[in-house]
Structure 1
């Protein structure tokens, strides 16, 4: 049914063709693209300070410049670690659907999507292991299990879209931030370039999948979908607040700091900014 919706949607077919062509034209070899210095200076910003979890909070005022730089280092390692885990999940789910019933038409684009995301996972992992000597573990509750039901594919692709839009919010800002080392700007810049295509595709696919679900679901089922996605938005945002990051940055009582930051008024504004475009889109199509 979904494939019928796609095949009859001239706008989607045109976008799909354009994005597939752009994936081919923009192809690069990530293994040759980046310069990897042996080390990066500790006394610099590793992440735009406005994107760190303490920005605008009372906690930031208690930290020294050295601690703030250390925090930005380990928050950047956490951010790229989240990318590694998120990409692994989306690769599993997209691979399960490529060349299956209902997804015949977008399968050609899926090939490019899978190849690009695999390369993204490599360079994010490379950064973490080179400069942080670790990939942070996936946060507890990450599985936030997707119900195995008729709406499974919808939830999978909305989750992928939420993840990609959160990541792209950070990528687009860090790519343009001249306070950051060029290696950091470069990996954010190339990821933003690819994610712009993936987000455009994801929005069209989610719109088609939700239109299909709407026809066969009652009000309670639609309300359950909305509630699930609100929980996933919250989980995704709160995964940025990692107590292991605060510990590695040398900040005492990391769990208490996490609780303080999550309760801070600045947190609500930060979350709203991160998901502003995402929430507007999901509200526009009526899914939340």
Structure 2
């Protein structure tokens, strides 16, 4: 089978081209992979005047409540929001690894695509370690999943097949990746957080490339039912992410009174909406390009504040 130069105009699934992509990513992984235990300086003290997230991406930034806080209180809010985001990241990396393991039960163990999937799982295991150690190092605690969230995490890997596997992968990875690319070099950021983001962006770029390629290469063979499901089910994630990113427990741990009211302020905050829109924009454009932004999903993402 010849390798398609443009998978978007292919008429069948090009296994050879997919293998070429996997081999290229395997080579990139061998050349640029990081051990967080070595790469991050966990012995360095935390500068007292640095934020754990740049102020402009903190959920209550720009509100009257934010302006009423002292700088140290603002820094504490950023610490708790970072710990919350990293906790969500750990859950998702766990979900992705479990989905890939289920998929590998049906795959050729000698194929390059299998070898890259195994490599990606290794990356994700290191990311979970990195996130957990940074949460501990910055003096925060991880945010646990609720019972219904744990139940969903147990069931989801068995539904993540075909295009839907790669769609869910991108929803979990690109929202964080787009935001990290904007803020990883911010001078107000704690050095250890900046380094975490640099590592994560580098390694996630390969994962995102693999998932995007998987979606595009399935376009010639996916059924209408597969397309409709994949194009709309990802919209169910929109209100969940909105709730996760404005978790009232963050504000309670930061010492703010009436945490549920603070969460409501965050959800109505135009600065927070702008950050959401920016983080979702590259993925929204890709979904539209590949026919995977269904009307139901688009309404859900817009209602949750991720689309203008």
Q: TM-score range by the shorter chain?
A: 0.7 to 0.9
Distance in 2 (CA, whole Å) between partners of 1:140 and 1:239 is 14
User: So what's the TM-score if we normalise by structure 1?
Assistant: 0.86
2:79 counterpart residue number? 73
User: So what's the TM-score if we normalise by structure 2?
Assistant: 0.81
1:230 counterpart residue number? 235
Deviates more, 1:177-186 or 1:152-161: 152-161
Change (3 A) 1:119 1:204: same
Pick from 274, 277, 283: which aligns with 2:288? 283
| TM alignment of 1:50-89, pairs within 5 A | 50-89=56-95
- Report how far residue 139 of structure 1 moved: 5.6
Asked if 2 retains the 8 angstrom alpha-carbon contact of 1:46 and 1:181, the reply is yes
| TM alignment of 1:1-288, pairs within 5 A | 5-7=13-15, 10=17, 12-37=18-43, 39-98=45-104, 100-101=106-107, 104-138=111-145, 142=149, 143=152, 146=156, 152-213=161-222, 215-217=223-225, 222-288=227-293
Asked if 2 retains the 8 angstrom alpha-carbon contact of 1:42 and 1:70, the reply is no
RMSD: 2.5
* CA deviation vs aligned residue, 1:10-34 (integer Å, no higher than 9, x gap): 3x44332221110011133332222
SS in 2 for 1:212: coil
Where do 5+ consecutive residues of structure 2 fail to align?
Answer: 1-11, 294-308
- Report how far residue 99 of structure 1 moved: 5.4
SS in 2 for 1:250: coil
Change (3 A) 1:57 1:244: same
Distance in 1 (CA, whole Å) between partners of 2:71 and 2:94 is 35
Change (3 A) 1:140 1:176: farther
Distance in 1 (CA, whole Å) between partners of 2:219 and 2:139 is 40
- Report how far residue 187 of structure 1 moved: 1.0
Distance in 1 (CA, whole Å) between partners of 2:218 and 2:211 is 10
- Report how far residue 67 of structure 1 moved: 1.7
* CA deviation vs aligned residue, 1:234-288 (integer Å, no higher than 9, x gap): 4224311111110111111111111222133334322211100010001110011
Asked if 1 retains the 8 angstrom alpha-carbon contact of 2:77 and 2:251, the reply is yes
Deviates more, 1:129-138 or 1:34-43: 34-43
* CA deviation vs aligned residue, 1:70-105 (integer Å, no higher than 9, x gap): 101111111111111111111111111125248955
Distance in 2 (CA, whole Å) between partners of 1:6 and 1:58 is 55
Change (3 A) 1:92 1:146: closer
Asked if 2 retains the 8 angstrom alpha-carbon contact of 1:16 and 1:201, the reply is yes
